[in-house]
Structure 1
Amino acid sequence: MVGLSVYPEISLVDEPVKIQAWGLPPEQVITLRAWLKDEKGQIFYSRAFYKADMDGKVDLEKSPATGGDFHGVCPMGLFWALKPAVPFLRLMKRDVMGSPFSVQLEVYHSLVLDALPEESPAATKVIERWYVAPGVQRILIRDGRVRGALFLPPGEGPFPGVIDMFGGVGGLIEFRSSLLASHGFAALALAYFAYDDLPSYLSEVDLKYFEEAAQFLCGHPKVSSDGVGVVAISKGAEMALAMASYLPQVAATVCINGTNAVNGNSLIYGDVLLNGMPYQAEKLLITEYGSLYFTNTMDDPRKPEHQGSVIPLEKARGPILFLVGDKDQNYNSLFFAREAMARAVKYGKKDVYLQCYPGAGHLLEPPGSPFCPVSQSPFFPLPLTWGGELIPHCRAQDTSWKELQEFLSRHIRCSRRNKL
């Protein structure tokens, strides 16, 4: 009888699992397959081929995949390689509190080449992958102009506060905040356009909105009042760098595949105005797969006419960490990060750091998030190219997630509040 074990069967999505199959004929070639349905009912799947050892066992921590969606020893490869049955969809958890992703793991006695096989598996196991730990509390925020969701770890606190933002897709995206709260941070998933009564698209951005969010978080009774961290990706990382440069509440900043200058829309903060560098839409490229290659549309911030768009990061109160994939095909993020580092050196700011991950693309997300090289965006008629290579990208997600948390823990002070 063929058996399949997965440990743990219930876990956070950023935690690794151990997968083993046994009871197979010695040296038999098998298929291991994973699949799930997202909240809209769309199927994401992966499969890999393995050869059982002389004892009829396959252990993903030791056994190399011989083919399929990846090859070599890759214990989490089935999760990393999950891809949509319908092209250009991105797997993204929206309701982090209500339910996990239920992942079905299957063993087949032969090579399975079809995306949706008709034959029955020899063994199955269903596991739960959660985006929130037990005891984490979610509070929907409508405070003044601020719109978002606050995730609080269990306990009295105070907890280090973090503002968490995503990029040009807009809306309210919560899965990284819920995971940060599961690891001890008070995380505010902050929307800044295309949500509730916020503007439906980005035009002129008022940094005072983000300052209100920082003041709200610092003022929460379960959050340290010593200053907050900011974590953001893509267009959000641009906002994060501006927050670090102008807002005294920001104690530490992590910019994931962002820029060092304002692009497109202008940014204001009181009397301060940073004009956005115009996008060069005529330089958009369409790949052979029918997706947009966006990188060329962003101009060079070193040009004299763009000096007023460069974000003055030397003004930042706290340290800044740039996390960059060198195969990013949405932004030329490594170039922008190096320009930021050069400016920091020029102005004598020594606490600006750069971590570059070879083979990683634009969407550097928490571990367990499958590799997504291209997906549809709500504001473009064609899918966007994100770039990267499956194995190095997902390994970078493992590494960067740990480095992100260590950086925030080290640089956000968390003193206890005075009790009245």
Structure 2
Amino acid sequence: MVCLTVIPKSSLADSPVSIRASGLHPSQLVTLHALLTDDKGEKFESRAFFQANLSGEVDVKQAPALGGDYTGVWSMGLFCSLKPEKLFYRLMKRDVMGSPFHVQISLFDSVVPLPKEAPLATCTVERWYAAPGVERFHIKTGRVRGALFLPPGPGPFPGVIDLFGGSGGLIEFRASLLASKGFAVLALAFFAYDDLPQTLIEVDLEYFEEASILLLKHPKVRGPGLGVIGLSKGAEIALAMSIFLQHIVAVVCINGATALIGIPLRFHDIYIPAVPYPAAKTLITKMGAIATLYVLDVPQDEKHQVSAIPAEKARGHVLFVVGENDQSINSKSFAEMSIARAKKYGKNNVTLLSYPGAGHLMEPPGSPLCYSSTIRGSSLAMLWGGETEPHTKAQEHSWKEIQKFLELHLGPVGKSNL
């Protein structure tokens, strides 16, 4: 009897799973197919071809994929190579508390590029974005807008502010996963959400100061310092927070600039002008996406140094996480410029994790590569870059390193797992 098992059947979205088929004929060719339908009804699929061993088994942790959406031995290959049916569409969990993503794994006889026949066996797995006991609280206090995620238990927990980038709105999936690891996390919106401005004209750092004070005042948040994690424009803001806000002691900057790009910053009587964004230099790729890698020059000349964020003044520790195949921004060069600047002033509190083949949208593990997608405010899709296997393996490694970094500088957490 043919049997397909996926263990565990229910887990956090950043956790690995194992897939095993048995009861096959020795050396039988089969196809494993994964199907995920997101919160909006959009489909993502992947497939890989295998040959059963002499015992009639395929263990994806040991058996190499012979073709399909990936090749070689890769236990999470089916999940990490999921591709959208809709062009320029990004997989993003929006309802992080209500329901999991359901991924249907199907086993087909022979090599089946487009499954049409009935599968030999199927199994559905749940991928959750919040562990049992994690609580979400809507935040609308003063000017601050966002969502606070608290782990189960009395705490206090190390506090982290979570920022995303130029698409705006409120994105919660990374915050809920970090809360599932024992952090108290404020997913913070800063434009295009609720009654916040619809466009970002200026980075008002006093807003982020207000958010950090609010988080520190919570009885389940352990002070005296906070961490910040940011992607893209959020990384740019996170770096600025580490310099100007006294409560920020650990910052993770993922694929961001280390200078103000296109949008200036203001903090009380401090004003940092932005490097102008030369929209006329944007390129349109053959697939119809905007490529900005060579538009955003690393500001090294004297004219642009006034827009550089002075990393040497960071009050705590800074971890740069960059993808070397980032097609949105030359994030590695920006990070190296900041590190060199810090070393020039005798500082050694700035470090770099750099990943060949990784693109711009580096997310928690288990998330497939998003090579390009549409964003709010742009009529065309943005090119993010990345190669499937090195990108998703960079996500696995960096996610562990980010948690280690935050625990090292904020203190240990109490873990909660499905």
TM-score (norm 1): 0.97
CA distance in 1, matches of 2:101, 2:258: 36
Map residues 108-147 of structure 1 onto 2, 5 A cutoff.
108-114=108-114, 117-147=115-145
Is residue 264 from structure 1 mapped to residue 262 from structure 2 by the alignment? yes
Please tell me the root mean square deviation across aligned C-alpha atoms, in Å: 1.1
> Is the partner of 2:182 in helix, strand or coil?
coil
Are the aligned partners of 1:325 and 1:361 in contact in 2 as well (CA < 8 Å)? Answer: yes
Map residues 5-404 of structure 1 onto 2, 5 A cutoff.
5-114=5-114, 117-404=115-402
Per-residue CA shift, 1:268-319, capped at 9, x if unaligned? 0011001111111121111121111111221331122112111112221100
> Is the partner of 2:335 in helix, strand or coil?
helix
**Structure 1 residue 195: deviation in Å?**
0.3
Are the aligned partners of 1:277 and 1:299 in contact in 2 as well (CA < 8 Å)? Answer: no
**Structure 1 residue 343: deviation in Å?**
0.6
**Which ranges in structure 1 are unaligned for 5 or more consecutive residues?**
416-420
Instruction: Look up the equivalent residue of 1:59 and give its one-letter code.
Output: D
Which residue matches 2:416?
Answer: none
Are the aligned partners of 2:243 and 2:313 in contact in 1 as well (CA < 8 Å)? Answer: yes
> Is the partner of 1:134 in helix, strand or coil?
coil
**Structure 1 residue 182: deviation in Å?**
0.2
Which residue matches 1:418?
Answer: none
**Structure 1 residue 382: deviation in Å?**
1.4
CA distance in 1, matches of 2:126, 2:102: 5
> Is the partner of 2:364 in helix, strand or coil?
coil
Please say which of residues 341-350 and 134-143 is displaced more in the overlay. Answer: 341-350
Please say which of residues 300-309 and 259-268 is displaced more in the overlay. Answer: 300-309
CA distance in 2, matches of 1:300, 1:407: 27
Instruction: Look up the equivalent residue of 1:283 and give its one-letter code.
Output: K
Instruction: Look up the equivalent residue of 2:109 and give its one-letter code.
Output: H
CA distance in 2, matches of 1:172, 1:300: 29
Are the aligned partners of 1:4 and 1:124 in contact in 2 as well (CA < 8 Å)? Answer: yes
Instruction: Look up the equivalent residue of 1:42 and give its one-letter code.
Output: E
CA distance in 2, matches of 1:289, 1:68: 22
CA distance in 2, matches of 1:215, 1:377: 30
CA distance in 2, matches of 1:341, 1:163: 23
CA distance in 2, matches of 1:366, 1:241: 20
**Structure 1 residue 414: deviation in Å?**
7.2
CA distance in 1, matches of 2:377, 2:337: 28
CA distance in 2, matches of 1:55, 1:307: 65
> Is the partner of 2:224 in helix, strand or coil?
coil
CA distance in 1, matches of 2:50, 2:379: 40
Instruction: Look up the equivalent residue of 1:66 and give its one-letter code.
Output: L
CA distance in 1, matches of 2:118, 2:41: 21
Are the aligned partners of 1:280 and 1:299 in contact in 2 as well (CA < 8 Å)? Answer: no
> Is the partner of 2:294 in helix, strand or coil?
helix
CA distance in 2, matches of 1:156, 1:414: 14
CA distance in 2, matches of 1:45, 1:241: 37
CA distance in 1, matches of 2:42, 2:394: 27
CA distance in 2, matches of 1:63, 1:410: 37
> Is the partner of 1:132 in helix, strand or coil?
coil
> Is the partner of 1:160 in helix, strand or coil?
strand
CA distance in 2, matches of 1:55, 1:9: 24
Are the aligned partners of 1:279 and 1:299 in contact in 2 as well (CA < 8 Å)? Answer: no
**Which ranges in structure 2 are unaligned for 5 or more consecutive residues?**
414-418
**Structure 1 residue 159: deviation in Å?**
0.3
**Structure 1 residue 413: deviation in Å?**
4.3
* Identical-residue share of aligned pairs (%): 57
TM-score (norm 2): 0.97
> Is the partner of 2:118 in helix, strand or coil?
coil
Aligned length: 413
Instruction: Look up the equivalent residue of 2:274 and give its one-letter code.
Output: G
Instruction: Look up the equivalent residue of 2:363 and give its one-letter code.
Output: E
CA distance in 2, matches of 1:55, 1:112: 22
